[in-house]
Amino acid sequence: MRAKIPVTDESGEVIGAVSAGMFESRMTEDVEEALGTLLSWTAGALLVGLVISSFVTASIRRRLQLHDEAAREMERLERTSAALREQAHEFSTRLHVVRGLVAHGEAAEALDYIDSAVSVTQAAADETAAGQPVLRATLEALRAELDVLGAALETSVEVASRVDEPVLLVLANLCRNAGEAGAARVRCVLREVDGVFHGEVSDDGEGVDLRNRDSLFARGFSSKPDRSGTGRGIGLAMVRRAVAERGGTIEVGTSALGGARFAFGMRAGDPERGDGVCEGEAREAAVHSGRVHSGRVRGDGGRGEGEGGHDG
C-alpha cells in the first residue's frame, strides 16, 4: 500500500492527504511541461540565431566580394595607366623624330621612318574633306584601319569651320569601335549648321544593348574581352568627355543600316584661338540647357535592343 503524504493549509493544520504516486505524477507533469516550454524557447532562439547568422555571413561575404572587385579594378586601372604612359612616351619620341625630319625637308625619310615604326596601309584619298588636310588624313587613316578589320568606311562631310582635335577624336573612336564590333559597313557623316558640328557614325553590325546605355560611356565598361590585360572601355569615355567639354550632346540607338548609331553635336571652334567653349562654360551651359550633365548619354530609343559590343 502506497504511503500518504499529508496536505496542510497556511496555518500548518493538516487538511488532507495524497498518495505518493499522485504526488510523483504531478511533479513529473510539471517537469515535462517546464522542459517542453524551455525546449520551445531554445528551438526558437536557435532558429532566430541561424537566420541572423546567415544574414551577417552573407553581408560579410558580399562586402568581401565588393572589396575584391574594387581591388581588381584598381589593379586593372594601374596596368592601363602604366601602359598608356609608356605608349604616350614612345609616341612623343616618334613625333619629335618625324617633326625633325619634316622640318629639315626630309619628307621621304619621314615617311620611311613612319613605315618602319608602325604598320600603315595607304588608303585612297578622301575627296569629301577637301580643304581640311587633317580631317582628310584622319578619314584616310580610318579607312585603311577599317579595311584591315574587314569594314568599308563611307564618308560625307559638309563643313565650313576647321575640324579640330576634339571632333576628330570623337569621329575616330566611334568609327574604330564600329569596325572592332564586327561591322562590314561604317557610315560617317559630319555637317555644320550655325557653327555647330552634327556628326553621326552608324554601322550594320550587331548594334548595342540599349539597356546598357547609362554605363556605355563609363570608363572601364566593355562588352569585349580584354586580351591585352591593359584594360578596355577607354575610347567611349574619351568621347563622352570631349563632347561634354564642348557643351554638346551624344545619342545612341539603332541605325538604318541595322547596327549601332551614335549621333553627336559639338560647337565648332578652335580653343587655341579662343573662339571655342572652355570646359567650365561648356558644363554650365550643358547643365542649364538640360541636355547633358557631365557627358550623360541620352538614348534615342532606336528600333530595338541589340546584343553587340561597342565600347572603347
Strand duo 185-193 + 152-158: pairing = parallel
In this structure, is residue 104 part of a structural domain? no
Helix (H, G, I), strand (E, B) or coil at 142: helix
| Structural domain boundaries enclosing 14 | 4-58
Number of domains in the chain: 2
Q: Would 241 be classed as within a structural domain?
A: yes
In terms of domains, do 193 and 278 share one? yes
C-alpha distances (whole Å) from 244 to each of 42, 169, 299 are 63, 13, 16
Beta bridge partners, 299, equal 252
- Are residues 132 and 233 located together in one domain of the fold? yes
Residue 214 and residue 289 in one domain: yes
Examine the domain organization and report whether 165 and 238 are in the same domain. Answer: yes
Residue % of the chain over a pLDDT of 70: 67
- Compare 272 and 70 and report the one with higher pLDDT: 70
Tell me if 210 is assigned to some domain: yes
Residue of 143, 198, 202 whose CA lies nearest to 178: 202
| 248 and 171 within one domain | yes
Q: Of 58, 75, 93, at which residue does a domain stop?
A: 58
pLDDT given at position 266? 95
In a domain, 73, yes or no: no
CA 163/CA 120 separation, integer angstroms: 23
> Residue 203: phi, psi to the nearest 5?
-150, 175
Same domain for 29 and 146: no
Average pLDDT over residues 152-157: 94
- Secondary structure (DSSP) of 14-68: EEEEEEHHHHHHHHHHHHHHHHHHHHHHHHHHHHHHHHHHHHHHHHHHHHHHHHH
Amino acid (1-letter code) at residue 234: I
pLDDT, residue 20, reads 54
Residue 79, burial from CB neighbour count under 10 angstroms (0-12, 13-18, 19+): middle
Quote the CA–CA distance of 296 and 241 in Å, as a whole number: 9
Q: What is the pLDDT of residue 281?
A: 39
- Give the residue-averaged pLDDT of 73-92: 84
Burial class (CB in 10 A: 0-12, 13-18, 19+), 311: buried
- How is residue 206 annotated by DSSP? S
149 plus 284 within the same structural domain? yes
Give the distance from CA 39 to its chain's centroid. Answer: 54
- DSSP letter string over 97-133? HHHHHHHTT-HHHHHHHHHHHS---PPPP-GGGTT-H
Q: Taken in order 222, 215, 208, 177, is the CA torsion positive or negative?
A: negative
- What pLDDT score was predicted for residue 188? 96
pLDDT-derived band at 298 (thresholds 50, 70, 90) equals very low
pLDDT tens per residue across span 9-48:
566 665 555 455 555 666 677 767 777 777 778 877 888 8
Judge whether 159 and 190 are in contact, CB under 8 Å: yes
Distance CA 54, CA 21 (A): 49
Looking at the fold, whether 168 and 29 belong to one and the same domain comes out as no
Same domain, 127 and 41: no
Q: For residues 266 and 305, what is the distance between their CA atoms, to the nearest angstrom?
A: 26
308 or 158, which is more confident: 158
Each residue's pLDDT tens digit, 191-248: 999 999 999 999 999 888 777 666 676 654 444 444 444 334 467 888 989 999 998 9
Residue 91 lies in a domain: no
pLDDT at res. 14: 56
175 and 263 fall within a common domain: yes
* Strand ranges across the sheet with 185-193: 152-158, 185-193, 196-203, 260-267, 249-254, 298-299
Q: Which three cell numbers stand for residue 175?
A: 568609327
The C-alpha cell that represents 200 in the structure block: 553621326
Set of cell numbers at residue 10: 497556511
The answer to whether position 88 is within a domain reads no
Q: Is the pLDDT of residue 165 over 70?
A: yes
pLDDT band of 151, cuts 50, 70, 90: very high
56: its cell numbers: 551577417
Q: Which of 27, 58, 89 represents a domain boundary (last residue)?
A: 58
Q: Are residues 34 and 149 in the same domain?
A: no
Q: What is the CATH number of the domain that holds 215?
A: 3.30.565.10
pLDDT above 90 covers what percent of the chain? 28
| Residue 8 within a domain | yes
pLDDT number for residue 233: 44
> Measured between alpha carbons, how far apart are the two ends of the chain, in Å?
99
Return the bridge partners of 253, or none: 261
| Residue 142 resides in a domain | yes
Model pLDDT for residues 106-119, shown as the tens digit of each residue = 988 988 888 787 66
Q: What are the cell numbers at 255?
A: 541605325
146 with 289, same domain: the answer is yes
* pLDDT class of 139 with cuts at 50, 70, 90: very high
